Amino acid sequence: MSVGRPIPHDAAVLHVTGTARYVDDIPAPHDTLHLCFGLSDTACGEIVAMDLAAVRSAPGVVAVLAAEDLPNSADTSPSAHDEPLLATGRVHHMGQPLFLAIANSHLAARKAVRRASVEIREEPAILSIDDALAADSRFEEGPRFYRKGDANRAIAAAPHRLEGRIEIGGQEHFYLEGQAALALPQEGGDMVVHTSSQHPTEIQHKVADALGLPMAAVRVEVRRMGGGFGGKESQANALAVACAVAARVTGRPCRMRYDRDDDMVITGKRHDFRIDYRAGYDDDGRIRGIEFRQFARCGWSQDLSLPVADRAMLHADNAYLLDDVTIESHRLKTNTQSATAFRGFGGPQGMVGIERVMDEIAHALGCDPVKVRRANYYADAAPGDAAPAPAPLDDGRDAPADTHADLTSRGTTETRGQPAPPPSGAQTTPYHMAVEDFVLGEMTERLVESADYRGRREQVRAWNAGNEILKRGLALTPVKFGISFTLTHLNQAGALVHVYQDGSVHLNHGGTEMGQGLFRKVSQVAAHRFGVPLERIRITATDTGKVPNTSATAASSGSDLNGMAVKAACDTIRDRIARLIAERHQARAADVRFGGDRVHVGGESYGWEEAVRLAYENRVSLSATGFYKTPKLEWDRIAGRGRPFFYFAQGVAATEVVIDTLTGENRILRTDILHDCGASLNPAVDMGQIEGGFVQGAGWLTTEELVWTDKGRLATHAPSTYKIPACSDRPRVSNVSLWDGRNREDTIYRSKAVGEPPLMLAISVLMALSDACAACGPHYPALDAPATPERVLAAVRRAREGAR
Amino acid sequence: MYAFDIKRPRSVEEAVAALADGEAQALGGGQTLIPTLRQRLADPGTLVSLSGIAELKYVRMEGDVLRIGGGTTHAQVAREAAAHYPALASLAGRIGDPAVRNRGTIGGSLANNDPSACYPAGALGSNATVVTGAREIAADDFFQGLFETALDEGEIVTEVRFPVPEAARYEKFIQPASRFALVAVFVARFAGGVRVAVTGASESGVFRWAEAEAALAADFTPEVVRGLTVQAEGMIGDLHGSAEYRAHLVGVITRRAVEGALA
């Protein structure tokens, strides 16, 4: 039994011994060239002149390309084709690539680009949310709305009302391995690309487009990434396309990696948000009506901003049943890096919005925030309630016809027909999806007990009464995160499995490994289906030549989709072997069992290797593909209606912090987490995701502060100015448990996705800090994120003196 | 980095001679100068490395004065000054990280006078004397603003003399990414008075907070600082903190330093 066991990451030994091979470690042919972009030093303006003669004559330089030198117009956008590889006439953010130096060494290329003489006629840049609103600079024609009930009327009729605003900062991905790519030209113009990307098919598509080739002429391989976090979903395109184009122009292999400072200046980050809210509520804290206005700063290109902003709207309810609600979303275009996917994909920002409202209502009523949250929770599903099997999918839908369209990108904005309405009487989200698998009521009860929330609430109160300078805070926040790509057709996956004559198994699927343990989980599935030990399963690099038309490894979907596809492929081969063995024993194929590295039939059994040899000798195919598509999904993103998610992953965290009211310095003292992974495929890997997600989320909401100058220069472009959490920043007491449950939907072994949801457990840190600030005075502290010491100190002042 | 020549004198005398050429620049531990060169913000022509001069590396008590050679690393000061002047040793032991402390020198740090550096606060707060080949300069005269000191071209810090106070403490509020001081304060109580030196905060580099000194001279307790404020005007406001925040921190960190000195 390999499924459900806490087996270490398959590459753990390679990681810690430094022998895991990343793109930049791949041995390249001796004549490989190295690339570096020359970058814009201006946020907005027109390129008046670009003299690259000195770059061309720099030592080691083989070629220099500007936009007009490209064989085809190369675009790197995952959505609106609005990201030329190299700037064409205008610049849209400081750090935008202007030209490409191709040289004999990485250093020579880096040195050469500094020699360019570029004249840009600077124009006023749109940098902030206020700038963008003033200029009406936005994506889409206007704001998007999701509506349920009549928020305005419900707010007006409610016994109490409040309104406010929270500003939420962005976040740099800070993957340990920076962006990297390597292109190897093949005969006949074909191209092989190694890339550090979460989305090999997108790389294949963009490279093919840039070279004027069909996708079949381009093969993309990804063995692993040193962290992705969403930052390698679209942001890896530029390097791969640059390498491929340079390889085409020079006829030589080309590789590229961003220096860390360049990486931070060029690539997009998590969207920063402003959320305005207006709520009406009753004496129990139950929300009667609520309106959110979300403002997302999207940067200069559309990128994945539309689905990110959608997902922020889709999580504006978090765990709370809202009957009368309006969510309004503005996607603002600014002269900054193109904000992109980041673990949670807008969900965390939407969730922070409603958690702020819960916190403020509890403060206004002077009652325990957990009570207010519980009063607003969706109702728990009946225990043991399994979901009905899905209806057969209608496959007769029309596909979009545009051949340039990036069909496998989340940036595609195709919409589908009319989703069916939810069952009558069901509790629904603001986007009219029935919530059928809610378990946070029971989970919260469990965590309240295990974390001794009530006892510690009293201890915190007592501490704060006796201490003037150090104040403690405690908060418990839930997470309900929708699992599935909101672009319905992306919810598909393929796998390719070969069994060789010696019984070894070659496993391949469309998902990419970025450290999250996907390959380990999927190999457990394969070993389980064949009933063989894990050692027989060989995990291999993601390769567009083996499994085509893959979706990005994103939206937490990796194990759900690829696990199912691998299961299908394994079962095809298994069933063939079973039929053969059954025939030999006049048994039924269904009675053949696979387990313990043997194949059992009646009272007899064959060793796995023997069974495989028999199959080969009897001319049974030992290779199969597998395919999976998530059922039940129907979503109209414009109307904000349907079922965008297969199910919800849930979790709850209680965090205690302490602040220094003189300086705003703060520490996390303790965190208790109860998280729902369904029936975990691998509890060790899942615990790693939960702990890592929490710490990354805590970094986002506390120390990680992105600062742009008034000219649009990113001032925090290195670890010397941008502070990610280190080991010493983790909570000293951390109790993480897995909820003992099964997914009521039919997922791979009834597990649940775990990639993104735990990040949002860290909202408990922000709310605990708010609680500590609130202990300093009578007013609501209205703490923004990231809660740096200076912001905490300002919130302490507001608590004491009221808003100024 | 621009090309440069390097000279490695074995004595102060040789170093002074090497520095007589106007293009030459002294190189201590290189913890600031080397990054500056890498950024091409300096083009010295010749670097005169002081790291090979054994006579500049020492920590010793003479009478009631602690003498530290200009070429002594922070790590050596942290180790060897602990018995004589714990507050200064503690300051040295908290500069940067081990790599910085094993390379960086006291002379280099003082001569550079970075507005966020630790040693200028230690020297000014201790009323130290900076000794060069040519003269002795009181700390009050030595620091002359951002990256500016009383040193002439080619003048080398050969020794720093620290009177040892009755009680002292260096308290530092770090910017968490770089671990440089956002605001740091060195407080020292002598028989004749109290000195309070603040680094990291001001646009004109390390400074003495006279108001706090006067109050603490009368009553060396954290409480007397409580009512005192520093003007935000003239404080550094940057991506890591506003001028107002830094001004506020000066008071808080000074109180912490006094508490530490009393502990």
> What residue spans define the domains of chain B?
5-49, 54-163, 167-262
For A537-558, the pLDDT digits (tens) are: 999 999 999 999 999 999 999 9
Q: Could you tell me the pLDDT band of residue A399, with boundaries at 50, 70 and 90?
A: very low
Q: Could you tell me the pLDDT band of residue A398, with boundaries at 50, 70 and 90?
A: very low
Mean pLDDT of A116-122: 98
Residue A432 has pLDDT above 70, yes or no: yes
Q: Could you tell me the pLDDT band of residue A416, with boundaries at 50, 70 and 90?
A: low
The two structure tokens encoding residue B100:
């910085």
For B61-84, the pLDDT digits (tens) are: 999 999 999 999 999 999 999 999
| Residue A721 to residue B242, Cβ atoms within 8 A | no
- The closest CB to that of A790, out of B178, B245, B252, belongs to B245
Computed over every residue of chain A, the mean pLDDT equals 96
Share of chain A above pLDDT 90, in %: 93
B240: which chain A residues are within 8 Å (Cβ-Cβ)? 721
Share of chain A above pLDDT 70, in %: 97
Of A745, A756, A790, A801, catalytic: A756
| Residue A716 to residue B239, Cβ atoms within 8 A | yes
Residue A527 amino acid letter: A
Q: Which residues of A281-301 are buried (b: 16+ CB within 10 A; e: fewer)?
A: beeebebbbbbbbbbbbbbbb
Mean pLDDT of A352-369: 98
Question: Tell me, what DSSP letter sits at residue B55?
Answer: G
For residue A743, give the nearest of A317, A351, A381 by alpha carbon.
A381
| Residue B252 to residue A663, Cβ atoms within 8 A | yes
| Residue A719 to residue B177, Cβ atoms within 8 A | yes
Residue A379 has pLDDT above 60, yes or no: yes
Mutate to test the interface with A, among B41, B245, B253, B259 (most CBs of A within 10 A): B245
- What is d(CA B250, CA B252) in angstroms, rounded to the nearest whole number? 6
CATH topology of domain B167-262: Enolase-like; domain 1 (3.30.390)
Active-site residue flag, A756: yes
- The closest CB to that of B239, out of A703, A719, A721, belongs to A721
Q: Coil, helix or strand for A115?
A: coil
Strand order of the β-sheet with B59-62 is B59-62, B65-69, B157-163, B129-132, B136-138
Q: How many CA atoms lie within 13 A of A594 on its CB side?
A: 26
pLDDT the model gives residue B22: 76
Residue A396 has pLDDT above 90, yes or no: no
Residue B96 has pLDDT above 90, yes or no: yes
- The closest CB to that of B176, out of A663, A703, A715, belongs to A703
pLDDT the model gives residue A400: 46
CATH architecture for segment(s) B54-163: 2-Layer Sandwich (3.30)
Mutate to test the interface with A, among B248, B256, B259 (most CBs of A within 10 A): B248
- The closest CB to that of B242, out of A703, A705, A790, belongs to A790
pLDDT the model gives residue A289: 98
Q: What is the pTM of this model?
A: 0.95
Q: How many CB atoms lie within 10 A of CB A117?
A: 11
Query: Is any Cβ of chain A less than 8 angstroms from the Cβ of B248?
Result: yes
pLDDT the model gives residue A287: 98
- The closest CB to that of A663, out of B176, B240, B249, belongs to B249
Query: Is any Cβ of chain A less than 8 angstroms from the Cβ of B34?
Result: no
When the candidates are 3.30.43.10, 3.30.56.10, 1.10.10.60, 3.40.50.150, the CATH number that belongs to B5-49 is 3.30.43.10
For A718-755, the pLDDT digits (tens) are: 999 999 999 989 999 999 999 999 999 999 999 999 99
Q: Coil, helix or strand for A121?
A: strand
For B201-217, the pLDDT digits (tens) are: 999 999 999 999 999 99
Instruction: Find where tokens 């570096």 sit.
Output: A36
Residue A351 amino acid letter: M
Residue A695 has pLDDT above 60, yes or no: yes
Give one DSSP letter per residue of A279-330, joined into a string: EEE-TT--EEEEEEEEEEE--SS-TTHHHHHHHHHHTSSTTB--SSEEEEEE
**Contact residues, B window 139-198, toward A, CB-based 8 Å cutoff:** 173, 176-178
pLDDT the model gives residue A388: 76
- Chain A closest-CA separation from residue B85 CA (Å): 28
- Chain B closest-CA separation from residue A796 CA (Å): 13
A720: which chain B residues are within 8 Å (Cβ-Cβ)? 177-178
Asked if A475 contacts A413 with a C-beta cutoff of 8 angstroms, the reply is: no
Q: How many CB atoms lie within 10 A of CB B234?
A: 13
Query: Is any Cβ of chain A less than 8 angstroms from the Cβ of B242?
Result: yes
- Chain A closest-CA separation from residue B244 CA (Å): 10
Residue A395 has pLDDT above 70, yes or no: no
Residue A375 has pLDDT above 50, yes or no: yes
pLDDT the model gives residue A406: 80
Under 8 Å CB pairs connecting chains A and B tally to 27
Q: Could you tell me the pLDDT band of residue A409, with boundaries at 50, 70 and 90?
A: confident
More confident residue, A649 or A387: A649
